[in-house]
Amino acid sequence: MKNSEIKELTTKELIEKVEDEKALLIKMKLNHTISPLDNPNKIGESRKLVARLKTEMRKRVLENKV
């Protein structure tokens, strides 16, 4: 998901997406611990996506306070 796509999401969609991605990340980490994933780089991609989503949420919170 690109940053431009993230900016187009509503705040509610953003919150839901963060929750979904966090759950997916935890599941991937657990599965990778048990048996190696085909592409372990997906864990890093998922972690970075969560960070991008949280950054956009924080940006919106700060914009509303000003």
pLDDT digits (tens, 9 = 90+) for 5-52: 999 999 999 999 999 999 999 999 999 999 998 999 999 999 999 999
CATH number, residue 46: 1.10.287
Q: How many domains does the chain have?
A: 1
User: What are φ and ψ of residue 60, in 5° steps?
Assistant: -65, -40
Amino acid identity, position 28: M
Find the domain containing 57 and state its range: 3-65
DSSP characters over the chain: --HHHHHHS-HHHHHHHHHHHHHHHHHHHHHHHHS--S-THHHHHHHHHHHHHHHHHHHHHHHHH-
Q: What is the pTM of this model?
A: 0.89
